Amino acid sequence: MGIYSKEEILDFIKEHDVRFVRLAFCDIFGQLKNIAVSVSTLQYAFEDGVRFNASQIRGFLNVEESDLLLFPDPNTMTILPWRPTQGSVIRFYCNIKRTNGEYFEGDCRHLLKQTEEELFHKGYEVFLGTELEFYLFKLDEEGKPTLNPMDKGSYLDTSPLDKGENIRREICLTMEEMGLKFESSHHEKGNGQNEVVFQHSFLFEAADNVITFKALVKTLAAKNGLYASFLPKPLLDQAGSGFHINLSIKKDELNFCKIRDYAIAGILKHIKEITVFLNPIMNSYERLGSYDAPNEVNSGTGNRGLLIRIPMGTKKDAERLELRSADAACNPYIAATLLAKAAIEGIENKLAVKDYQTGEALPINLLEAVKIAESSEFINSNLPHHLVSCFLKAKKQDWQAAINTENPIQTAKAMEFEVT
C-alpha cells in the first residue's frame, strides 16, 4: 500500500493489465464484503461512489432506507497476488457514505480513522502489533470443511510433524507482496494450529492488515485444498485460537513505560463492557478460561494466563502491553477504537492499576456480555448509537437461535464455522 493520486492509480492499472477492481468493506461484525467493478467504473467511483443495497447486509439498514455508497480509499490500493497476472485484480478498501454525502455510522473503518485522528490531535501515537492464531482443517470428498486437522503437530514443531510450514511460508511471502509486515510464524499448540505475528503499525493500518490477513489465509488455504478457521474454539479438546493485541502509546517524548500502568488501568476498568466486541460469538466463551486463555480481570508480568500481560525480555518488549482475551471473530476496527479510548482515559486520568485489577470473572457467555455493554456509558459515548443498537440486537438473536436448539454449543459452532 502507498499514497496514490487518481492519475497514478490509472497509470498503475494500465501498466499491470488490471481488468477488475474489488471495492471492499466490512460489515459491523468485521466480515469482509466486496463488489467487483470494471476499470471504467473506478474512474467515477472516487467522486460519485458505487451504490449497493445495504438492507441485505446484516446490521446495516432496513429496506426503507437501503441505499449506501462505497468510495474507494486510494491509499489502500493493492494487487491481489493470487489472481491471474493477465487481467489482474486490484482491491481498495472503501469509505461508506449515505446518499446525502454523510458518513454512514455503521462504517467501523471510518470510526477508527476518526479515533486515530482525534488522538493525533491530542499528541498521542497509538500502535498495534497483532498475533493471530488459526487452524488448518482438511476437506471432505465433496470439498466441504471438516474438523479433521491437517496435522498432529504441537507448539513449535518442525516437519514432518508440522505439515503447515509450506503454507505458512506461502502466506508470509504473499503478505510481503501486499505490504504487510510480519515478525514470525510457527506451529501453535493445537493439532493443525498456526500463528503469524505482525510488526507494530498505527491503529488504522493494523486493523486493515487484520482484515487483509484473514482473507489471504482463507484464500491460500483453499488453494492448497484446506480450510482455514479463525473460530475461537473449533476443537473442544485442543487449544483455542486467540487474537492477541499488543498495544503501545507515544505521547510527546514520554517513554511508554512511564504511562503504561495508566493505560492498563483504563483497559481493566472497561474490559467487561468491551468484552462483547472482543469476543462476539457464542463460541468465544468456550475458549476463555482454558489453555491459558484468560477469564479474569487481572494483569501482570510474564504469565500468559493473564488478561493483560507485560512481556518479559528486551527493552522493546517492556514498551508494550499484551491483551490476551480477544479472538479473531471480532471486528478489529471496533476493538482497536475501544481499547485505544480506554487506554487514553487511563493515561489522562492517571488511573491506578490496583484499583481495577479486581480478579473478577469476565462475562461467562454472550448474553451476559451483551447485557453489560447495553448499560455501559463508556460504550454508548464512544460508539454511534446505530452501531451499538444493531450490534447488540444481532448478538441477542444469535444467543436465542442457539439456545432454542437441543445442543446450543454445537449449533452455534455450525452457525459460525463458515463466518469466522
Beta bridge partners of 202: 127
The 10 Å Cβ neighbour count of residue 348 is 14
Q: What is the CATH number of domain 6-104?
A: 3.10.20.70
Q: What angle do CA 331, 226, 179 make, to 5 degrees?
A: 50
Whether residue 411 is predicted with pLDDT greater than 70 in this model: the reply is no
Each residue's pLDDT tens digit, 117-145? 999 999 999 999 999 999 999 999 999 99
Closest CA to 370 of 273, 304, 288, 294: 273
Each residue's pLDDT tens digit, 85-96? 788 999 999 999
The percentage of the chain sitting over the pLDDT mark of 70, rounded to a whole number, equals 94
Task: Name the pLDDT band for 315 (thresholds 50, 70, 90).
Answer: low
Q: DSSP assignment, residue 128?
A: E
Phi first, then psi: give them for residue 330, nearest 5 degrees: -80, 160
The percentage of the chain sitting over the pLDDT mark of 90, rounded to a whole number, equals 82
CATH 3.30.590.10 domain span(s) along the chain:
114-417
Average pLDDT value for residue range 163-188: 95
More confident residue, 65 or 208: 208
Average pLDDT value for residue range 167-189: 95
What is the pLDDT at residue 63? Answer: 59
In this structure, which amino acid lies at residue 186? H
The 10 Å Cβ neighbour count of residue 66 is 15
Cα 165 from chain centroid (whole Å): 24
Least confident of 188-202, 212-226, 250-264: 250-264
Phi first, then psi: give them for residue 52, nearest 5 degrees: -145, 160
Q: State the Cα–Cα distance between residues 268 and 284, nearest whole angstrom.
A: 19
Task: Name the pLDDT band for 407 (thresholds 50, 70, 90).
Answer: low
Task: Name the pLDDT band for 418 (thresholds 50, 70, 90).
Answer: very low
Each residue's pLDDT tens digit, 376-401? 999 999 999 999 999 999 999 999 98
What is the pLDDT at residue 257? Answer: 81
Structure-block grid coordinates of residue 143: 470439498
Whether residue 2 is predicted with pLDDT greater than 60 in this model: the reply is no
pTM: 0.94
CATH 3.10.20.70 domain span(s) along the chain:
6-104
Say if residues 37 and 16 touch (Cβ distance below 8 Å): no
Average pLDDT value for residue range 11-15: 89
Beta bridge partners of 250: 125
What is the pLDDT at residue 311? Answer: 85
More confident residue, 190 or 16: 190
From residue 259, alpha-carbon distances to 172, 240, 273, 339, 372 in Å are 34, 32, 23, 15, 28
Write the CB contacts of 69 (distance below 8 Å, at least 6 apart in sequence): 48, 49, 50, 51, 52, 96, 97, 98, 99
Q: State the Cα–Cα distance between residues 55 and 61, nearest whole angstrom.
A: 5
Q: Which fold has domain 114-417?
A: Creatine Kinase; Chain A, domain 2 (3.30.590)
What is the pLDDT at residue 319? Answer: 81
